[in-house]
Amino acid sequence: MQDRHIGDVRVMRIEEQMGPGFPAKDFFPEFDADTFAAEQHWLAPGYYQPESGKLMTSIHSWLVRTGKYTVLIDSCSGNHKPRPGMPRFDMLNTPYLDRLREAGVQPEEIDFVMCTHLHVDHVGWNTRLENGKWVPTFPNARYVMSRTDHDHWAAVAKRPDSVPYEVNTYNDSVLPIVEARKAEFVAGEHAMCGCFKIKPAPGHTPGQIRLDLESRGKRAIFPGDALHNPVQVPLWKWNSRFCDDLDLARKTRNTLLGDCAEQGALLMPAHFAPPHAVYVKAKGDRFALDWDFDNARGRVS
């Protein structure tokens, strides 16, 4: 279990799943075999599995302890949830909450759950099944989410032609939070907890947000799904198959990577395989990965 410090703030990764996910050629709408092959010398085997053609994908939360607040960024896929057509997320039974407790935190101790967006693998542990009813997993938390994203997915859940797993995701993992009056809706930029700034990061979903963390001059950015795999740093124009607005997602990704490079911020996405976080270097409109944590350590702790 990784333990990083951003200034005075402690950050740990809480894993739900780790392994091969979607085939690369199916995951990126802009996929080009020759372009991708040129990156395979560093992608394989950690971030790409050549024998299956699949991307290596982690599904995890970030647990952030500020000294005053305990914050969970995204809540993975959840247990016992029907996700027809999405076998990786369907009717899971993982020890996610045990891993949270191993990190020294009980569900009752979470103060805020930050939902970067409301996709199936980011809101699942918002709720748990108790006596046949979906109830908040973190009973004392405020669940912070974008008003735009919420309203979009609430509308999707009501349409008769919507994808079933998306309807289920809203109805079992978001709606119970709203009905319990534990949702806190945000729009635009919004400061919280004395060290976070919420910023809009739309494109992947209409209302996706990113979380910028600063403590004692050290920085990290939690971008939700502005990018899924490290290959999207050098190939930043490549979107995922799940991006709602390809042009806007590309613009958001470019801004994000530019901010990471300019600020020396540690990029901490929701799906990167080990080491799960990375620095970014910029040269013109191109970006490169900087995995050199030893030399960069002064920027982190």
What integer pLDDT is reported at residue 293 of this predicted model? Answer: 53
- Omega into 230 within 30° of 0, i.e. cis? no
Domains with residue ranges and CATH for the chain: 3-211 (3.60.15.10)
Percent of the chain residues topping a pLDDT of 90: 94
CA pair distance 285, 294, nearest whole angstrom: 26
Mean pLDDT of 9-32: 97
What integer pLDDT is reported at residue 298 of this predicted model? Answer: 38
Structural contact between residues 134 and 172, judged by C-beta atoms closer than 8 angstroms: yes
Helix (H, G, I), strand (E, B) or coil at 135: strand
Locate the DSSP E strands across 238-293: 266-267, 279-283, 286-290
| pTM, two decimal places | 0.94
pLDDT, one tens digit per residue, over 150-182 is 999 999 999 999 999 999 999 999 999 999 999
pLDDT, one tens digit per residue, over 242-257 is 999 999 999 999 999 9
Q: Which residue(s) pair with 70 in the sheet?
A: 65
pLDDT band at 227 (very low <50, low <70, confident <90, very high): very high
Q: What share of the chain is helix, strand, coil (3-state, %, to 5)?
A: 30, 30, 40
CA gyration radius for the chain?
Answer: 18
pLDDT, one tens digit per residue, over 109-123 is 999 999 999 999 999
What integer pLDDT is reported at residue 132 of this predicted model? Answer: 94
First to last CA, the chain: 17
45 or 292, greater pLDDT: 45
Handedness of CA 120, 121, 123, 126 (dihedral sign): positive
pLDDT, one tens digit per residue, over 119-135 is 999 999 999 999 999 99
Helix (H) or strand (E) holding 263: helix 246-263
What integer pLDDT is reported at residue 299 of this predicted model? Answer: 41
pLDDT, one tens digit per residue, over 188-203 is 999 999 999 999 999 9
What integer pLDDT is reported at residue 292 of this predicted model? Answer: 65
pLDDT band at 301 (very low <50, low <70, confident <90, very high): very low
What integer pLDDT is reported at residue 79 of this predicted model? Answer: 98
CB-side exposure of 62: number of CA atoms within 13 Å? 29
What integer pLDDT is reported at residue 37 of this predicted model? Answer: 97
In order of 51, 83, 122, 201, 260, the CA distances from 205 in angstroms are 31, 19, 12, 9, 21
